[in-house]
Amino acid sequence: MSLHPFPRVVNAPRREGERAAQQPVAVPGGVRPRLRVLDGLRIAAAVAVLLHHYTREQLWGREAFGWLTVAGRYSWIGVELFFMISGFVICMSAWGRPLGAYLRGRVVRLAPAYWFCVLLTMAVLLAAGKPFGGAGPGLSQVVTNLTMLQTPLKSTSLDASYWTLWSEVRFYLIFAVVAWTGLTYRKVLNFCWIWTVASLLAPTSGLPLLENLANPVYSPLFISGICFYLIRREGPRVGEPWVLLAFCWMLMQRWLNDIVHWNTVDGDRLSWEMCLAVVTLCYAAMAAVALGWLDRIDWRWLPVAGAMSYPLYLLHQQIGITLLARWSHDVEPWTLLLSATAVMLVASWLIQRFVERPACARLRRVLEKRPARRGGGERSAVRGEADRA
């Protein structure tokens, strides 16, 4: 789920004569022009997931929003779009960067907003009358959630939306293997094929470690995002990424059967065919980004909206549903829905502007700080080794 602004790195064009719209272009100062359309897709995906949770019939006791309730049954597919965007952006951000910078960048992008949102969610649950030792979070659960590793540690997530973070973290870790030796077109594509084969073997391998690392249900989406970035970087005439994309789509439609089952509760009446159509539209949108067809969508407010998508995703479910459940019998549904959505959007902007941005800057300085030179040969040599690492 890369839900953050794009890293500021440069990708030099690899082929002459290709259209600028199809290539990230190097500019003075080492800053790549921002693909603002991906910011738009990211905030759209976050709002879609929010509407899925806020319009469910189980919350209101009836179908309260007509067509929006019907659309909300399928808008959880925003998560699938997030995963494709993540594959695209992580590949882009790691290109041309040493492994240490790549890993530090992931920590800086994910951790500060997540820590704040965990603590804020805990505070809201306590204020709602769910204290430690009662129906609310226990102290150990909160501390474990702060690690972002509650899923492998077999602890309950404070907010159910956090389940995607473990999929993201696994992707970052396995992609670090190929980023370690430096990214090239062939290395990245070989990595995608190897991951695809591992995902095919994992479900029947009897090896829990392989299944956990390969993440076979969602790996086709991350791999698809990487392929879309390779097409963006190399131009549309390269054929192999398109072949792998088609294969990933076929794998995705198989696992979509399971995903639809997991997202079906009483009254949802989900159609697998409709879910497949929506995911395929997500593929089409990413293909349009890769081919440069949407580069004219360059509105200045999109980076701000894209930056808000991560805190919005982290905040909306547990806090929003807790508040909606409290007021749903006293306030008209549309008024409450629009008010809750507006509150979450404003809160997400405030967190991004006044918490995440300064906290990321401080954390980056801490992680990039080098030991002060105290003189002499041995310490200088140690510092040189640290710099190279």
CB count within 10 Å of CB 289 equals 24
pLDDT band at 374 (very low <50, low <70, confident <90, very high): low
CA–CA dist 342, 336 (Å, integer): 10
User: Closest by alpha carbon to 288, among 21, 90, 7, 25?
Assistant: 21
How high is the pLDDT of residue 41? 97
pTM for this entry:
0.86
8 A C-beta contact, residue 149 and residue 201: no
8 A C-beta contact, residue 370 and residue 383: yes
pLDDT band at 373 (very low <50, low <70, confident <90, very high): low
pLDDT band at 30 (very low <50, low <70, confident <90, very high): very low
Residue 134, classed as helix, strand or coil, is: coil
How high is the pLDDT of residue 217? 97
- Whether 304 maps to a domain, the answer reads yes
8 A C-beta contact, residue 116 and residue 133: no
Q: Which of 59-73, 124-138, 201-215, 375-389 has the lowest mean pLDDT?
A: 375-389
- For the chain, how many structural domains are there in total? 1
- Whether 97 maps to a domain, the answer reads yes
- Whether 324 maps to a domain, the answer reads yes
More confident residue, 62 or 362: 362
More confident residue, 111 or 9: 111
CA angle 312, 32, 49 (to 5 degrees): 20
Query: Above 70 in pLDDT, residue 69?
Result: yes
Residue type, 57: E
Query: Above 50 in pLDDT, residue 154?
Result: yes
CA–CA dist 76, 71 (Å, integer): 10
8 A C-beta contact, residue 261 and residue 282: no
Token pair recorded at residue 367:
């992680």
- Whether 118 maps to a domain, the answer reads yes
pLDDT tens per residue, range 244-297: 999 999 999 999 999 998 888 766 678 999 999 999 999 999 999 999 999 999
Query: CA separation (Å) from 197 to 191, 200, 219, 244, 307?
Result: 10, 5, 11, 11, 34
CA–CA dist 383, 277 (Å, integer): 55
- Whether 216 maps to a domain, the answer reads yes
How high is the pLDDT of residue 208? 93
Query: Above 50 in pLDDT, residue 369?
Result: yes
More confident residue, 6 or 345: 345
User: Closest by alpha carbon to 349, among 297, 301, 317, 387?
Assistant: 301
How high is the pLDDT of residue 136? 63
Token pair recorded at residue 334:
């549309």
pLDDT tens per residue, range 206-236: 999 999 999 999 999 999 999 999 999 999 9
Average pLDDT, the chain: 86
User: Closest by alpha carbon to 92, among 186, 165, 148, 8?
Assistant: 8
CA dihedral 66→68→70→71, nearest 10 degrees, is 160
Q: Which of 20-29, 62-71, 336-345 has the lowest mean pLDDT?
A: 20-29
How high is the pLDDT of residue 135? 55
How high is the pLDDT of residue 389? 38
Q: What is the mean pLDDT of residues 200-206?
A: 95
CB count within 10 Å of CB 346 equals 11
How high is the pLDDT of residue 265? 73
Which residue range(s) make up the domain with 122? 20-364
CA–CA dist 108, 106 (Å, integer): 6
User: Closest by alpha carbon to 202, among 240, 251, 159, 162?
Assistant: 251
- Whether 196 maps to a domain, the answer reads yes
Q: What is the mean pLDDT of residues 88-111?
A: 95
pLDDT band at 329 (very low <50, low <70, confident <90, very high): confident
φ, ψ at 297 (rounded to 5°): -80, 95
- Whether 369 maps to a domain, the answer reads no
Residue 292 backbone zone (phi > 0: left; psi -120 to 50: alpha; other: beta): left
- Whether 389 maps to a domain, the answer reads no
Residue 14, classed as helix, strand or coil, is: coil
Percent pLDDT > 90 in the chain is 73
Q: What is the CA radius of gyration of the chain?
A: 22
User: Closest by alpha carbon to 373, among 363, 360, 386?
Assistant: 386
